[in-house]
Structure 1
Amino acid sequence: MMYTALVSNLIFPLQERFKQHRSVSVRRQMEQSQYWPEARLRELQLERLRNLLQRVQAKVPYYRDLFRELGFEPLRDLQSLDDLRRLPLTDKATIRQAGERMKAEDAVGLARFNTGGSSGEPLIFFIGKERVSHDVAAKWRATRWWGVDIGDPEIVVWGSPIELGAQDRMRAWRDRVMRTRLLPAFEMSGPKLDGFVDAIRARRPRMLFGYPSALSHIARHARGKGQRMDDLGVKVAFVTSERLYDEQRQQIEQTFGCPVANGYGGRDAGFIAHQCPEGGMHITAEDIIVETIGADGQPVARGTPGEIVVTHLATGDFPFIRYRTGDVGVLGTEPCRCGRGLPLLKEIQGRSTDFLVAQDGTVMHGLALIYILRDLPQVKAFKIVQESLQHTTVQVVLEGALDDALRGKIVAGFRARLGAGVDVTVEQVAQIAPEKSGKFRYVISKVAA
């Protein structure tokens, strides 16, 4: 505990000061504002939104021209958060087309990033020091909700080329000081999983961090080998970047003997929401305005599923304003029992490409097919790809061989939901390959929902 306090209170703050990040002061402010009532948080959002829109009008060529075309003046026309809807939605294509015109003319020290591109062409974008400071602070605050802190021993199971390409001497030294070890999530073969289990047992981490698919794979492998993992003192497993399924949560919790804390966000959209010990997925309201919209682009009521759209209030150097995430979620209607005033994401249903379309036009979540496969004891892993309304492919990893009876069950179950005329191809494979980012995607639909 003494070493953790040294890292959290001295070493990490010194690092952030050296990088010209305001993460420490921002986190302290957030730990106060998290208990504000939602009305006061909305006042803060409106103030910060006015500042953001004034800055992008003055310094960002794309928005300067857009506001001129719309006749939009932030001070005059932004009287409430609802007025944000006067601005058009943006998406990856908008940002790609704008190119350099999306950068603030006075921005310095921007870092280049890109999304993983698992659902299409990657997005290249830029992040300034203000954005980094706020994202780090938001994640740090959420970490501390669970009684752990920077400097506690940590295992990170991740597949981002950015992290995995940064293992130079300085990064290795930093990880040793911070007591963090990174395990690459790209390959989940038997020997690799043996090594991961050994590394976790040797480290005895206080916290785990990674993709839910990766941590559940490790947990399942350890239990299959009869290797106990709940005696290591792991206090919490943080998961993010993929949909967290109930069986994954159960697998991780039972194997490691700790709760699972779900997080939601992305490199592009920012640190959007994180789960507290009472179970609420709290939106980082000090930094991010979340809207949910229907297929017509209009807002839907709280409690109703819609596409998640974010405005990140710390992106004056490279704006993300009314940015379509492609994810479908539900805003909460009730406060959390923890007492925080931060609004809630009641549910994150997954990416729009995680939804399938039946031949009759019915839109359904991928879980409709996932449960068919999960109910078959022979199926160890799978991937579903809806190629078109007429054709769906299923890859399965099996205990034993794929026989006609099993193939028939899968095909019949899929046709019962997608349509009797759908061609269902079932392929047995040795293992399911992850995406380039290291993530696993159980369902991909190439049909517009």
Structure 2
Amino acid sequence: MDFIIKRSPYTSLVSNLFFPLHERLKQHDSVAVRKQMEITQWWDKDRLYDFQLSRLRSFLSRVQTRVPYYQQLFTELDFNAASIQSLTDLERLPRLNKSIIRANLEALKSSQAQDLARFNTGGSSGEPLIFFIGKRRISHDIAAKWRATRWWNVDIGDPEIVIWGSPIELGAQDRLRRIRDRILKTKLLPAFEMSEQKLDQFLAEIRIMRPKMLFGYPSALSHIARHAEAKGQRMDDLGIRVAFVTSERLYDEQRQQISKIFNCPVANGYGARDAGFIAHECPQGGMHITAEDILVEIVDTQGNTLPPGQAGEIVVTHFATDDFPFIRYQTGDMGVLDSQACACGRGLPLIREIQGRSTDFVVTQDGTVMHGLALIYILRDLPQVDAFKIIQESKNLTTVWLVTKTNLDSELVRRIEQAFKARLGQKVNILVERVAQIPPEKSGKFRYVMSRVTTH
């Protein structure tokens, strides 16, 4: 059985009346979907598997008759959606990637799709991807996020501060949106600029609002936490219940920093605007997949599906709607599935580890693929370094940007060069540069490592 969430009268009013009305006016069925998800999350593994298989079969059958791109593909492969007998039958279909979507944008729309909304990814790793989502898919993603929020004894209507950088959210701050956010007690702070003055303003806003939850990029929240610590500004007495982080890899030191300064647990979330709300961490530490809507596969560079415990690319199928289907969609992220059950008792399958985007990995001179953490650890604990970014331009050149308290001295540069060469190769050129600040990506994210060398 689920726990009872402790809500204030105002939060109950918003969660039970205003937000459901808001969703109904937008023609979203997120309320009903969330309530159903709060039942299915407790089903055992076998019952969830049967539920997934039934939904997948129905979803693929609709795709086969309504989506021109897949009508042709299924015919070429002699693939009959109604005859699939297991989830592994999905492996007979090729993976979907951004290039295929760009080349078949109209053919991927269902013939029965209505009210499709145009979206695009941030394009932090290259050209943005344009795609379309219908109201049913939006409803399911809202419901999945809402369910996960409630795991942490917070709900819609509890005060929330969002540190975000997406142009979509920031560009939508019209009058009606501001009124809605005021009712929901949600305040959006832009993550694009992290100057000392802005960080002071962020701390002041958080202290004034005293939110029950924070939401944002782990890099942004940890940056604010470090600034509070450096300023000697207490932020652990505000009653914050949880800090939700998403959209980037969450590093252990970021989790510790955020948790210590704001005196709250950190809940990791994993998803994307294109791929959906894939997984979220529960208070017992399990990273639960939204299995009612999403099937997650881990594949190697040759496209072979890997068993739990082995690392590979995360590939997702979102079967909430066939309006613009994402079937075996390559996320570009690397991860590991877990075959164990979570102590919380939920039957939802688990992702054991999310290792980051493929561009968070570097390639040594001899072709070995290595996680960027191997280089991050070299810089993270240097007392002279306040911030850094590592850019692998090629197998033969890696640039290191440093924000330091003092001018670079030759001994520090030599130590960094030696440590990087020991991991990347002795003949690799390491260019260490001191900069005034590390600029964020266009999305507002801060990335420690960026590799321009393909890992495939």
Q: What TM-score do the two structures reach when normalised by structure 2?
A: 0.98
| Deviation per residue, 1:313-364 (Å, 9 max, x gap) | 1131000000000111000121000000000000001111111111112111
Q: Which runs of 5+ in 2 are unaligned?
A: 1-7
> Deviation string for 1:197-246 (max 9, x for gaps)?
00000000000000000001111111111110011110000000000001
Match of 2:88 in 1: 82
Q: Separation in 2 of the partners of 1:40 and 1:212? A: 35
| In the alignment, structure 1 residue 138 sits paired with structure 2 residue 144 | yes
C-alpha distance in 2 between matches for 1:31 and 1:182? 28
Partner of 1:236: 242
* Partner SS, residue 238 of structure 1: strand
Amino acid at match of 1:389: K
Distance in 1 between residues matched to 2:428 and 2:37, nearest whole Å: 51
Deviates more, 1:50-59 or 1:264-273: 50-59
* Alignment of structure 1 residues 415-430 onto 2, 5 Å: 415-430=421-436
C-alpha distance in 1 between matches for 2:67 and 2:296: 22
Q: Give the superposition deviation at 1:288.
A: 0.2
Stretches of structure 1 that go unaligned for 5 or more consecutive residues are none
Distance 2:222 2:367 in 1: 34
1:403 has 2:404 as partner: no
1:183 paired to 2:193: no
For residue 387 of structure 1, give the secondary structure of its aligned residue in structure 2.
Answer: strand
Residue from 274, 277, 291 that aligns with 2:280: 274
Give 1:51's aligned residue.
58
1:68 to 75, 81, 84: 75
CA distance in 1, matches of 2:381, 2:166: 32
1:92 to 84, 98, 104: 98
Q: Does the residue aligned with 1:101 lie in a helix, a strand or coil?
A: coil
Query: Do residues 214 (structure 1) and 250 (structure 2) align?
Result: no
The share of aligned pairs that are identical, in percent, is 69
The 3-state SS of whatever aligns with 2:106 is helix
Tell me the CA shift for residue 378 of structure 1. Answer: 0.7
Runs of 4+ in 1 over 3 A off after TM superposition: none
- Please give the root-mean-square deviation of Cα atoms over the aligned residues, in Å: 0.6
Aligned-partner Cα distance in 1 for 2:67–2:218 = 38
SS in 2 for 1:100: coil
Does the alignment pair 1:357 with 2:363?
yes
Residue of 440, 449, 454 corresponding to 1:448: 454
Distance in structure 2 (CA, Å) of the matches to 1:318 and 1:429: 44
Give the C-alpha shift of residue 55 in structure 1: 1.1
State how far apart, in whole Å, the 2-side matches of 1:352 and 1:130 are.
Answer: 30
SS at match of 1:102: coil
> What does residue 37 of structure 1 align with?
44
1:114 matched to 2:120? The reply is: yes
Contact 2:311 2:336 survives alignment (8 Å): yes
Matches within 5 A, 1:5-20: 5-20=12-27
Q: In the alignment, which residue of structure 2 is the partner of 1:344?
A: 350
State the shift of 1:418 in Å. 0.2
Query: 2:5: which partner in 1?
Result: none
Which residue is equivalent to 2:129? 123
Partner amino acid for 2:13?
L
Counterpart secondary structure, 2:187: strand
The alignment status of 1:333 with 2:348, answered yes or no, reads no
CA distance in 1, matches of 2:20, 2:358: 39
Give the letter aligned to residue 8 of structure 1.
Answer: S
Hey, what does 2:206 align to over in structure 1?
Answer: 200
